Structures are given as structure tokens and as C-alpha cells.
Amino acid sequence: MNSHPRLLIAGAAAAALLTGCTPGAIAVPTTAPPPTPAATVSPTTTTSPTSSPSSTPTVSPTTDWNAEQKKSVAAVEGYLRLSDKFLADPKGTSLYKMSNELFKYISGDMLEANIESYKALQKSGEHAEGTITTVWINPAEARDSKGRLWVNVCRDATARRWVSKDGTSKSGGMTLRQFSVRPGDGVHWKIYGEKAGEGVCE
């Protein structure tokens, strides 16, 4: 997903959804370090009906994470929760409110890409239905040389469908994504990039 944020369209967002990606996925220029072994977590599921989607439960790790790992995971979980909500009903929230809510967890080109995608989806009438499950979340042990802490997320979107305006639909699949997270304001951590993850998602 190397498209410039301003060029993202509804079709691109649909393709991203079918592989479990979020609508604002943008390329991260430098390669992330190999991920550490995945922490085993209890799977969580988000239901995405055409209205009133439920919130994504917080994943509780069975291994101990340090303060920075917890903050980075919280940012990713918050972002995924909003993404699932907005994809289920793109027209249910104004772009202004979307931007304000997303800004709690993402910034920079990532935020711009999301808003452009949702703007296109509001016009096209496309949306998500069904459920998506977070299988596991795995934060790196420490930040890289650029101050980023990478978080790998395995999600199962096989029970989620992408529905077009005419009612036709396509099913999703398994996906492994990697998020670049770092302090946004000294307290709250934010996502600044997203790319394909490394490893096996199952």
C-alpha cells in the first residue's frame, strides 16, 4: 500500500478491508526490525453490522509488557476499534468528528490517509458487515534507532464482508499488519505508519 494519501479512493479502501488492513495504511520508508515472538493473547472479536457496531474489547496479554509496550498497544487497539466502527458505518460519523477521534491514536500522513478514505466511502456507500477478530498483538521489546516501537497485529477478517452500494459483497481474510508507534505528546503514543507484518498470522 504505497499510494499517496491524497490518491486513496474507495476502491483502495475496499481492497485494504478485504485483507484486514485499515483504511489509512501507508508505507513506512525504513524496514522494521524482525518481530519478537508473539505474545499469546485471548482472541477478541468486533462485530460490524450496518449500524451500532460494538467496540473492540481490549486484549489482555498473558506476558508482562513494560510501560512503553502497553502505551503502544493501547494506541493500536484504540485505532483499530475506531477503524472497525467507521468502516461499518462510514456515513454515521462526520469527517470532522472522525478526525478528532482518530487524532487520539494516529497523526501525520496516517491521519490524512484515513480521512481521505472515509470521505470516498461516504460518497460510494460501501461499508463493512460481519465480524473481525484480533488473534494476537505483539509489541517489540524496545524502540528502534528512530524512536519507534513496532507492534505486530494478527487479525482474522474471514467473517467480515465488504458490501458495495448495490448489495454485492466480498469476504475478507487473515492479515498480519505492523504499526509504527511513538510518543505523540510526551504522554500518549500515536501511530505514524503501517505496513505488512512479518511472520505467520494464524
Q: Is the Cα torsion angle 6, 9, 12, 18 positive or negative in sign?
A: positive
pLDDT for 95 beyond 80: yes
Closest CA to 132 of 75, 180, 171: 171
Give 18-55 pLDDT, tens digit per residue.
Answer: 555 666 654 433 334 434 434 434 455 554 444 334 44
| End-to-end Cα, the chain, rounded Å | 22
Average pLDDT, whole number, for the chain?
A: 79
3-class SS at 155? strand
* Positive or negative torsion for Cα 162, 191, 1, 35: negative
Give the global pTM: 0.77
Q: Can you give the pLDDT at residue 46? A: 54
Q: At what angle do helices 10-18 and 109-124 cross, to 10 degrees?
A: 100
Q: What would the pLDDT profile of 96-106 be if each residue is shown by its tens digit?
A: 999 999 999 99
- Rounded mean pLDDT, 11-18: 50
pLDDT at 53: 42
Q: Which residue has the higher pLDDT, 187 or 37?
A: 187
CA dist 161 and 146 (Å) reads 37
- Who has greater pLDDT, 154 or 188? 154
Output the pLDDT for position 20.
Answer: 59
